[in-house]
A and B are shown apart, each in its own frame.
Chain A
Amino acid sequence: MSAERAFRFGRAHHLVGVAGLPEPAGAAAPVGVIVLNAGMVHRVGPFRLHVEITRRLNASGYPTLRFDLSSLGDSSAADESRTQAQQVNADVADAMDLLASQAGCSRFVLLGLCSGAQNAHGVAIDEARVAGAIFLDGYAYRTLGFRLRHYLPRLWSAARWRRFISRSLQARSGPGDDVFAVRFPPRDQVQRELALMLDRGLRLHFIYSGGVTRYFNHPRQFRECFGRLADRPEVSARLFAGTDHTYALQVDRQRLLDDIAAWLRDNFPISGGSNP
């Protein structure tokens, strides 16, 4: 039996979120999963993705919180002088405090799509309570392998040229305000930060959609980007080729949910009521 409860919470009572609180399965509380906003979409997520993810995880026994960061969705500004990164860190800390008080969790997995993945990365760098993160279309960088896979097939395929030209024309005629546009920091910096997270014992899962083929187009690319870091057992990456960035089709969302649930089960099992 799981229940959802709506909260206004936070250091300035400025945040709005919905906690999923399954019945405790054992003596030790499982990790709590905190879902961050994807772009400007409020906490339910694109096409209600975050509702589906959190309810699926609640059914597996994980407490969850989907909430709106300061000024997004139904949350207000905290009226404080902080950088955006500091504000995100403080908001997520508030979210952890809430889920800790409601479900007894002391460790957390962050989950975010696009800008949500970037925010999850930023928080995971030095928030001690983060035990893991799931990055949906998180950081990756174009490599030589990417360029070969991207450009070579186009040279001899009329259909791909047509599609490429069609996409280019549509992109040019559009308003040029990609709602999920993000800017990545340098690769060396991200690689260093990921290594530090892994050294602290975090478990990290990267899921790339077929909607980001402009920068990621093969499962092997994760290793091309991040080198030996990709071989560490605490990190995993996969590509859902053929999907779009926000999982508009139910069959794609189902595959994504299955993958997320399986990764959590493998890395933070609930059996016996304890996590590693």
Chain B
Amino acid sequence: MRVEPAQPCQFGSGGSLFGLYHAAAGGARAAVLLCPPLGQDMVRSHRVYRQLADALAQQGIAALRFDYFGTGDSTGASDACDWERCTADAVAAAAELRARSGCTRLIGFGARLGGAIALEAAGAARLAELLLWDPLLDGHACVARLDAMQEALRADPMRFSAPRSREDAAGQWLGFPVGADLRRQLDGWRAAAATVPVRVFDSQPAEARADWRAQLGAGTEVAALSSTASWDVLDRLEHAILAPDLVRAVVDRLRVAA
């Protein structure tokens, strides 16, 4: 079935948010809101998100990709990215997807902090189900990890001919300036048990896999992927994340459910 190419759009207050709407082939029988992760995870997973949205549209499932305020093509400087605003933007994106697709029942998808934002927004955005790919559920641990990686980046001999000063590297995480608000908000955030059905797609090595049911609720379904996503490997910081099995697994799941 022929799928129309994704249509770029601007929505939200004053058209401040950039999105790409993937209309479904033959009319939408379901719709998925694709919540991107933040920072370099967003840049690295851009290709997978596009592939996933294209594959969903081919199966008759509409999808909306979008950028939060202060990220990607949306308005706002990078250091203006704010956790609460990200959640509000996901809610605005859900409304946009409902209006464009005509579907009232939406499924949320998110990788890493995109998964965390989908969890946060699930109630207000009226998401019926969540599909989370390697979600980050402990904000404090996330802040500590990003701080450690930023410290390693400034002294990385593969990147800089001489270590850079702490002053030069301050207030940033892996290439992106970080506002004090986002840092504080994330540091104090921890996922609560999910209020909607959740399926986690886990692409971490077996020894590093989290106890998702303990964090998200006993009803959480977990699918282990065969490929390992190199999210936290500094040497791979500018390499795209490739995850063909993730795309397949999500499409298979929704083909059955939708």
Whose C-beta in chain B lies nearest to the C-beta of A163? B157
Q: Contact: A6 with B46, CB < 8 Å? A: no
> What separation, in Å, do the CA atoms of A51 and B5 have in the docked complex?
23
Whose C-beta in chain A lies nearest to the C-beta of B16? A4
The interface size bin for chain A is 35 or more
Q: Contact: A42 with B46, CB < 8 Å? A: yes
> What separation, in Å, do the CA atoms of A37 and B235 have in the docked complex?
21
A-B contact number at CB 8 A: 99
> What separation, in Å, do the CA atoms of A51 and B74 have in the docked complex?
9
Q: Tell me which residues across on chain B come within 8 A of A14, comparing CB atoms.
A: 5
* Cβ-defined partner of B238 (8 Å) among A44, A180, A242: A180
> Which segment, of B6-14, B179-187, B213-221, faces chain A?
B6-14
Contact with B along A6-21 (1 / 0, CB 8 A): 1110000110101000
In chain B, positions 15-66 with a C-beta closer than 8 Å to chain A are: 18, 20, 40, 43, 46-47, 50
What are 16 A-to-B residue pairs whose CB atoms are below 8 Å?
A4-B73, A8-B8, A16-B8, A18-B73, A46-B175, A51-B72, A51-B73, A52-B78, A74-B8, A74-B20, A170-B157, A248-B175, A249-B154, A249-B164, A249-B169, A252-B168
Using a CB–CB cutoff of 8 Å, the interface residues on chain A facing chain B are 4-8, 13-14, 16, 18, 39-44, 46-48, 51-52, 73-74, 76, 163, 166-167, 170-171, 174, 177, 179-180, 210-211, 213, 241-246, 248-252
Supplied contacts A18-B18, A167-B158, A249-B168, 20 more A-B pairs, CB within 8 Å? A7-B8, A16-B6, A16-B20, A18-B73, A39-B238, A40-B47, A40-B240, A47-B40, A47-B176, A74-B8, A74-B50, A163-B157, A167-B157, A170-B235, A174-B235, A179-B238, A179-B239, A242-B160, A242-B161, A245-B159
